[in-house]
Chains A and B, each alone.
Chain A
């Protein structure tokens, strides 16, 4: 009788929680999908983060009763799309539909009846349609760490970062009226522009338009470059790249900052992939070297231009008496922080200062050295992924600030 009691109590707590949290209100769900009311989305994101952390801790203690669903990609995509359609039409998911029906909603009751029919349809079509589809691109009951051959920590960090970013982006916007600080810190008081400066304001607004275009373009370039850089790290780290004799041969832009383990530099052997091949073609270190060097160059140029654009925007805001000075100031300083985070300081300072940009031979040496203890593993991922995530976050914050500046300036 233990299982029924546990199920009943857990279910009751769960059902009560759904009512308490407001997820039984279809308006909240629709509002989230329409990107107007983020209560439901933020609730779900926080619950995912808490559940992730708790499950990880339970797993470390060996008391987690995991239930990994099979990763049959085709049926997952189809099923997810149908769930999304149902969610959008009604504002109820299969679970919240039950809870809502229990809360007195007649429309939820109709949804539950529909769900019963849906279950029946599923059973009817299972042998002829679902069963064959489930066999296509079915990777089995696997987790993300298992697929990538890594530990859980980088994935924990990645999911937490994604969750926090979602919470930041769905934060209720502050009032975006133009900010007029009494002192800009650059010796110019914004409120003192002379009356009749309509022409100056008009020219300033024209400049805002141009700067907005370039700022957005550079932002996209930097984001794509960062994503590519991170992708190349993961391709190398998960054994998709042959780290043969060509590893880092004469093409690096700088010296390796992390002193390689002598045993790793002694005899470079071809490394067998630790995970299944995900790419339909072979990747060698030559390809990675060329790609990393190109991306590094683009990244440095684009980020310097991004900072310059922010500085020009700041100057125009001050000189033209445009609004949003607080936003553009923050955007400028955040863009400077991004540039500082990106630059490869390891060339000058060795291990003391590391930039997001890495040299191909540094990447090859680090991946071939492999992970030592937990601390080494944490430092390894912190260096290649942690700093990257931080730079990406600051970049996104800078872009958000600049978007607010643009709106404030154009509104004026």
Chain B
């Protein structure tokens, strides 16, 4: 399946940054800092409540009422998915894709391997977000916006490990077609 390379974003980077920053400010002004990664833990907690109620009741983390409620964060997650879906449709960017240009360049386009890697990467990312009490949006953007001490070690670790692993997994750069260079 021939897939398109990186798409040109609809807005330039500075507009994009201002837009995202204002969304974060709006969130902090109205309710709370943006953080969706914890909602997956809550979703799993609610599943465990039904599947293994005794375990959930005695668990030191998910027995907390914070993990039992379907509140602001959960609606934020739902809104996120809906907003992304409709925006992609509207901008004609909705398209079934399975790999990326960097993956094809370095791994000869095996879709199955990409899906397995995606699964493993997602597992790592979510485990890390749980440990760090937030992901890139919650800890990095939200953390620095609030001058939180936690943002410092998180930033160092994310970019340090991210750059190193990216270099190992994607050693070949993209061809000079104006994208990714």
In the complex, A75 Cα to B115 Cα: how many Å? Answer: 28
Inter-subunit contact B31/A3 (CB<8 Å): yes
Contact in complex: B150, A118 (CB < 8 Å)? no
Q: Total A-B residue pairs with C-beta atoms closer than 8 Å? A: 547
How many residues does chain B have at the interface if contact means C-beta atoms less than 8 Å apart? 132
The interface stretch among A30-38, A278-286, A387-395 is A30-38
Alpha-carbon separation in the docked complex, A73 to B136 (Å):
16
Asked if A107 contacts B125 (CB within 8 A), the reply is no
- With contacts A15-B83, A69-B134, A69-B138 taken as known, whether A113 is within 8 angstroms of B76 at the C-beta atoms is no
- Is the CB–CB distance between A85 and B29 below 8 Å? no
Chain A residues with CB below 8 A from B68, complex form: none
The answer to whether A88 touches B166 (Cβ under 8 A) is: yes
The reply to whether the CB of A123 lies closer than 8 angstroms to some CB of chain B is yes
Tell whether A17 is near chain B: CB-to-CB under 8 Å.
Answer: yes
Kindly provide the distance from the CB of A344 to the nearest chain B CB, expressed in whole angstroms.
Answer: 32
Contact A92 B84 (CB under 8 A): no
| Cβ 8 A contact of A70, one of B32, B40, B98, B150 | B150
Q: Which residue of A lies closest to B163 (CB)?
A: A33
Complex contact B160–A81 (CB within 8 A): yes
List B contacts of A79 (CB < 8 A): 127-133, 154, 157
A contact residues around B153 at 8 Å (CB): 71, 73, 76-77, 80
A15 — nearest CB in chain B belongs to which residue?
A: B83
Q: Judging by beta carbons under 8 Å apart, are A22 and B16 in contact?
A: yes
Confirm or deny: A55 has a beta carbon within 8 angstroms of a beta carbon on chain B.
yes
**Could you tell me if B149 and A142 are in contact, using CB atoms closer than 8 angstroms?**
yes
Choose, from A45-53, A248-256, A262-270, A331-339, the stretch at the interface. Answer: A45-53
Report B-chain residues with C-beta under 8 Å of the C-beta of A55. Answer: 24-25, 28, 145-146
A33 touches B25 (CB 8 A): no
* Residue-wise interface mask of A (8-44) relative to B, using a CB-CB cutoff of 8 A (1 in contact, 0 not): 1111111111111111111110110111111100111
Chain A residues, Cβ within 8 Å of B161: 80-82, 84-85, 88
B134 to chain A: which residues have CB within 8 Å? Answer: 69
Q: Are A54 and B11 touching (Cβ within 8 A)? A: no
Nearest residue (CB) in A for B18 is: A50
Chain B interface, >50% SS class: helix
Is A287 on the interface with B (CB-CB < 8 A)? Answer: no
Cβ-based interface call for A4 (8 A): yes
The docked-state distance in angstroms from the alpha carbon of A112 to that of B130 is: 14
A43 touches B36 (CB 8 A): no
Does A196 make an interface contact (CB < 8 A)? no
Shortest distance in angstroms between A112's beta carbon and chain B's nearest beta carbon?
A: 6
| Residues in chain A near residue B97, CB distance under 8 A | 104-107
Q: Is B7 an interface residue (CB 8 A)?
A: yes
A63 within 8 A of B: yes
Question: Are the C-beta atoms of A8 and B78 separated by less than 8 Å?
Answer: yes
Chain A residues near B164 (CB, 8 Å)? Answer: 88
Of the listed stretches A126-134, A174-182, A187-195, A229-237, name the one at the interface; the rest are far from the partner chain: A126-134
Do B13 and A20 touch (CB < 8 A)?
no
Q: Indicate if the CB atoms of A13 and B180 lie closer than 8 Å.
A: no
Contact of A199 with B by CB under 8 A: no
Known: A84-B165, A89-B120, A98-B77. 5 other contacts (CB 8 A): A20-B87, A51-B25, A63-B29, A79-B154, A111-B122
5 pairs across A/B with beta carbons < 8 Å?
A: A48-B144, A50-B21, A71-B148, A83-B154, A102-B81
- Residues of A at the B interface (CB closer than 8 Å) are 3-28, 30-31, 33-39, 42-52, 54-55, 58, 63-73, 75-123, 126-127, 130-131, 133, 139, 141-147, 152, 155-156, 159
